[in-house]
Amino acid sequence: MGDVAIRVENMSKAYKIARAKYRHDTLRDQLVDGVRSLLRPRSESRPSQEVFWALREVSFEVKRGEVVGIVGHNGAGKSTLLKILSRITEPTAGRAEIYGRVGSLLEVGTGFDHELTGLENIYLSGAILGMRKAEIDRKLDEIIAFSEVDKFIDTPVKRYSSGMYVRLAFAVAAHLEPEILVVDEVLAVGDAAFQRKCLGKMGDVAQQGRTVLFVSHNMAAITRLCRWGIWLDRGYLRDHGPTDEVVAKYFAAGVQALGELTFRDRLPEAPGSEYVRLLSFRVRSDHGEVTASLDARSPFSVEIEYEVLRPAAGLRVGLRITAHDGTVLFSSTDADEGEVARDPGTYVSCCTIPGPFLNYGQYFLTVGSDTPMIQSHFLVERGLAFSVEHTGGIGAHISDGRQGVLRPALPWAVRRLA
Amino acid sequence: MVQPPMRETVGSRNSAPRLPRLLERGGEAGAASMEPPTFVIEASRGLINFDLGAIWQRRELLYFLVWRDVKVRYKQTAIGAAWAVLSPLLTVLIFAAVFGRLAKIPSDGLPYIVFAFAGFLPWTYFAQAFSRASTSLVGNAHLITKVYFPRLMIPLSAVTTPGVDFALSLASLLGLMLWYRITPTWALLALPAFLVLAAVIALGVGLWLAPLNVRYRDVSHTVPFLVQVWMYSSPVVYPLTLVPEPWRPVYSLNPMVGVIEGFRWSLLGTTAPDRLAIALSAIVGLAVLVGGLVFFRRMERAFADVI
């Protein structure tokens, strides 16, 4: 028995995409263009297509029994890679060797038919995902128990709540026993308790020595489940190695050295509405320096500059800080202590975050503006990343390794009792 | 109150012994290449690679796909599968009224209703099979983009599903024959052969139209007309004898001519069908099927990207 499960060599995938400029607006245009393209030689017959490389010469190997997490921004090629390895789509160039039966879980409820009952869907979905009937028969009780929907197993799934649907769907998928399991962001659905149960089940799968390829934006899940990581960036393989290192590099790359994101030089792209337009936002250290690396012991501030175009009652500007695993630490707005009226003009909203408060680590800053209950003006999710470090000072070289995303300075009192 | 010690994880994770790098290329990986891969993924080349073995391996899936379509078809209906018996019966009654009574179309000396039913039976199967097959890929787009299995199973299941309705219809035709005291002959044994031929033609046509429908949805709008035109170009509501003798070989290029004549002969014991018609039917049917298989495999690569 060899020790390689997946070997990918120089894999590339191109998609042809239609350019919006050449969109056909009327049926007439379409017919005229259609006839023209029939008459023209092949090479110039498709002026409306552009090639987009979703994967570019990606090579890597996965050993048998390893659990590998794939990280990267949206559009980095993660899903394309999984689709190629699941044989749903073909690569444009390069090859992959797969040693073992592949089961893929790119969606919750693959093959489910809404008209059929829960029980019927277990068989249908199971068969589509690659299980044999005898295998489903054998695991049926286990699947139903895992899904927690046993009372409704003879009800058509169209009458299920979304939670029940997800539970049943995952229960089927969780009982697949391929040698190689390919999982896309399927855990983004379902309630927290069930997500934990699914993660636990996936952990079991890994324990049983099966190879797992796992895409998720949930870095906590990735770091917990996967020992190895692959980082894709705009189709390229940026890095691979132990998960901790890859995830750290992935975050480090997200940390713009500048600590600022500005739209002043490209106003047409600036997020906003007819009422307000975002100009820039930045992280500023205690010393007044714009930076993406902050000292854990000192306070820092977040500045959001924007232009009010029309008077908007109830307008507010706020921020959200997210830990690297996606946990939201807190949100805050400049209207928390009462509404601030704003005539048209340019403004800066500044929020000071105390120090010591955030623990060492990587964080994301999201900024936004809305008129509560009425309209969202802009929202730049995870627009900036910054790190909180221990820099300088006496004893700074000693990492005290305390746990948690926060390390606030809290008042303690020590009294001698006896 | 017991608190876990504070100084632990951040450091301890890093101090864990490093395992050998998994992703290093070459080196120890060389050992694995002794064993052939389960499969190799690369841009496909070549024309003929039907991989029928993979379909045989996943035959249970074929069963489940057919089972799903049959089940879903009659869910939430009051009389369920009785529709499969009723709807062809009603259509044939209309045929009998319009073509038999009003237009007085001859029916080879048989009661028109039995004559028309014997032709309509294979025709309904064929029409359902090929129109289902033609739209089957688009109808299963949610599967094609999310999970792998031999794509050929989709049109294959589409031509199998109407077989269930066919069986029920056949039973009602046999009942009708009993009513009219028409006893089947030994020719009845040839019936499965003609059914298989109808399936071959339907699958062949479906394999051409289904991939086209993935790219151009116009196909699904064209299919209903195609069904009508094709039906009136086949001896369903009229006998082959109505077609002028010199035109019959050309007419028989329509592969359904042989199938329908074959059905009439095997069910009702009419005059044995023209050898030429049957031979043409089989040759054209097989040619369409083989061509369709090649075309389908060729187009298959892009299904998930285009659909």
pLDDT in tens, B191-245: 999 999 999 999 999 999 999 998 888 888 899 999 999 999 999 989 888 888 8
The shortest C-alpha distance from A106 to chain B (Å) reads 6
The shortest C-alpha distance from A402 to chain B (Å) reads 5
A24, A85, A88: best to mutate for the B interface, most B CBs within 10 A: A88
The secondary element (H helix, E strand) that includes residue A118 is: helix A118-129
pLDDT in tens, A115-149: 899 999 999 999 998 889 999 999 999 999 988 88
What residues contact residue B158 under an 8 Å CB cut-off, 6+ apart? Answer: B69, B129, B132, B133, B136, B206
The secondary element (H helix, E strand) that includes residue A229 is: strand A228-233
State residue B43's pLDDT score: 77
Q: How many residues appear in chain A?
A: 418
The shortest C-alpha distance from A283 to chain B (Å) reads 26
Contact (CB<8Å) A90/B301: yes
Whole-structure pTM value: 0.71
What is the rounded radius of gyration, in angstroms, for the C-alpha atoms of chain B?
Answer: 27
DSSP 3-state percent helix, strand, coil across chain B (nearest 5): 70, 0, 30
Q: Comparing C-alpha atoms, which of B140, B130, B139 is closest to residue B160? A: B130
Q: Which residue has the tokens 């997210």?
A: A322
**Which of B28, B33, B143 has the CB atom closest to A111's CB atom?**
B143
Task: Count A/B contacts: CB-CB distance under 8 Å.
Answer: 156
Beta bridge partners of A233: A236
A4-28+47-253 belongs to CATH 3.40.50.300: yes
User: Which two tokens mark B299?
Assistant: 């187009």
For residue B15, is it left (φ>0), alpha (ψ between -120 and 50) or beta? alpha
Chain region(s) in chain A for CATH 3.40.50.300: 4-28+47-253
User: Which two tokens mark B296?
Assistant: 């389908």
Beta bridge partners of A6: A62, A98
The shortest C-alpha distance from A7 to chain B (Å) reads 9
Contact (CB<8Å) A4/B43: no
For residue B27, is it left (φ>0), alpha (ψ between -120 and 50) or beta? left
**Average pLDDT value for residue range B151-160:** 94
Cα A416 to its chain centre, rounded Å, is: 51
Contact (CB<8Å) A89/B305: yes
A63, A79, A244: best to mutate for the B interface, most B CBs within 10 A: A63
The shortest C-alpha distance from A92 to chain B (Å) reads 6
Contact (CB<8Å) A130/B9: no
Residue B241: CA atoms inside 13 Å, Cβ hemisphere, count? 9
Name the strands in the sheet holding A228-233, side by side, starting at the edge strand that comes first in the sequence. Answer: A102-105, A180-183, A211-215, A67-71, A228-233, A236-242
**CB of A154 within 8 Å of any CB in chain B?**
no
Extents of the domains making up chain B? 58-66+79-306
State residue A353's pLDDT score: 93
Lowest mean pLDDT segment, chosen from A170-174, A246-250, A251-255, A295-299 = A251-255
Angle at A406 between CA A404 and CA A410, to 5 degrees: 115
In chain A, which residues have their Cβ closer than 8 Å to the Cβ of B147?
86, 88, 104, 106, 110-111, 128-129
pLDDT in tens, A195-243: 677 767 777 776 777 888 888 766 667 777 788 999 998 889 988 899 8
Residue A192: pLDDT band by 50, 70, 90 thresholds?
low
**Which of A88, A95, A242 has the CB atom closest to B147's CB atom?**
A88
Q: Please state, in angstroms and as integers, the Cα–Cα distance from residue B55 to each residue in A30, B58, B63, B150, B199, following that order.
A: 39, 5, 12, 6, 17
The CATH topology of domain A260-389 is Coagulation Factor XIII; Chain A, domain 1 (2.70.50)
Chain region(s) in chain A for CATH 2.70.50.60: 260-389
State residue A263's pLDDT score: 84
Report whether pLDDT(B14) > 50.
Answer: no
Q: Which residue has the tokens 């003929």?
A: B48
What residues contact residue A20 under an 8 Å CB cut-off, 6+ apart? Answer: none
**CB of A87 within 8 Å of any CB in chain B?**
yes
User: Which two tokens mark B280?
Assistant: 């043409």
d(CA B270, CA B240): 12
Report whether pLDDT(B30) > 60.
Answer: no
Q: Please state, in angstroms and as integers, the Cα–Cα distance from residue A135 to each residue in A15, A169, A209, following that order.
A: 38, 17, 20
* Surface of A (316-345) touching B: CB under 8 A: none
Contact (CB<8Å) B44/A85: no
